[in-house]
Amino acid sequence: MAPDSLAGVALAWADQPGDLPRQFESRQALEAELRRLFPAAEGNLSPIRGGRRQAEALLSRVQPARYAKGRNFLDGPVTRLSPYIRHGALILAEVRDAVFARLQAPGGGGRQAGEKLINELGWRDYWQRLWQQLGDGIWRDQEELKTGHHPGAYNPDLPADVAEGRTGLACMDGFIAELHETGWLHNHARMWMAAYLVHWRRVRWQAGAQWFLRHLLDGDPASNNLSWQWVASSFSHKPYFFNRGNLERYSGGTFCRTCPLSEQGCPFDASYEQLEAELFKPLPSVRSVESGRRERSGPRSSGPSAALSRPTRRR
């Protein structure tokens, strides 16, 4: 085999008529075959390599304690295991066992150091079980919106400038480019994108969820749809939104430094209180508690990321 061989690990079942080829001499050969089979498809191969061997290599490098401290930063030590879990190269149980083994090893930090990562695995399992229960109902609002807006006020279609990555916002266009080119986005970037689309552009979450599923290597209606609903507030007690300070903090300011709207016109450049008043209609019974907390603690230009928070578990 060539040095770039994609033979991978042999599958446990025999070839069947109509199966796609399993072995390629190189990524170039794989790309050529895919272009032949799907001539209308645009773009190039994702740089993310698939397969069991790559999954095992990534799993061996997981650092649960570092993940807990830095997972919200775009350059933080996230696992990048989601595409492999999604396609069955890894299963949640073996990831869990590998994390526990790492924590129990000398210098691993013990179970408490891995709590955040284990929680995320648990939520992924919960999403899957909920999808099994809901079926196609996962495409419907699970609760009423807490934005003060009627569902009919949201556009059912994805705006063309978003689909094409020409919103004029360096952050959003950067996220869109990464999504199209790699098929993957950091979870915080996904939440920012979803919040922008649903709350600033007033687009139905279903349009965004369908768009993500067309591009994400790890996309499935369980984690994807319920996360979009969490942002939209149809599966949480309030809508998720962010401000410029939050985005700058967790992206290292990379996008704001080059954004043409950085000095004037940035839609995110405001306090949370100002953005809440601009984006949502008053719902005192829903958001008064959170507003009270902000008043007592004083104004803030940025806050801890809510991107990895989750709604109250349904029983």
Contact assessment for residue 287 and residue 146, using Cβ atoms and an 8 Å cutoff: yes
Asked if residue 231 and residue 120 are part of one domain, the reply reads: no
List Cβ neighbours of 175 (8 Å cut-off, separation of 6 or more).
185, 189, 192, 193
Per-residue pLDDT of the chain (315 residues; tens, 9 = 90+): 344 444 455 666 677 887 878 788 888 998 999 899 989 888 889 999 999 999 999 999 999 999 999 999 999 999 999 999 999 999 999 999 999 999 988 877 777 888 999 999 999 999 999 999 999 999 999 999 999 999 999 999 999 999 999 999 999 999 999 999 999 999 999 999 999 999 999 999 999 999 999 999 999 999 999 999 999 999 999 999 999 999 999 999 999 999 999 999 999 999 999 999 999 998 654 444 444 444 433 433 333 333 333 333 333
Helical H runs in 105-220? 115-134, 160-163, 170-182, 187-195, 205-215
Residue 284: predicted pLDDT = 56
Cβ pair 233, 134 in contact under 8 A: no
Count of domains for the chain: 2
Out of 81, 100, 135, a domain closes at 135
Q: Report the distance separating Cα 189 and Cα 224, nearest Å.
A: 13
Range of the domain at 291: 139-297
What is the distance, to the nearest Å, from the Cα of residue 27 to the centroid of all Cα atoms in its chain? Answer: 26
In sequence order, which residues have a C-beta less than 8 Å from that of residue 277 and are 6 or more positions away?
A: none
Q: Is 253 domain-assigned? A: yes
Q: What is the pLDDT of residue 105?
A: 83
Assess contact for 155 and 202: CB atoms under 8 A: yes
Both 56 and 106 in one domain: the answer is yes
CATH number of the domain that 274 lies in? 1.10.579.10
pLDDT at residue 283, as a whole number: 67
pTM for the model stands at 0.84
Residues 107 and 177 in one domain: no
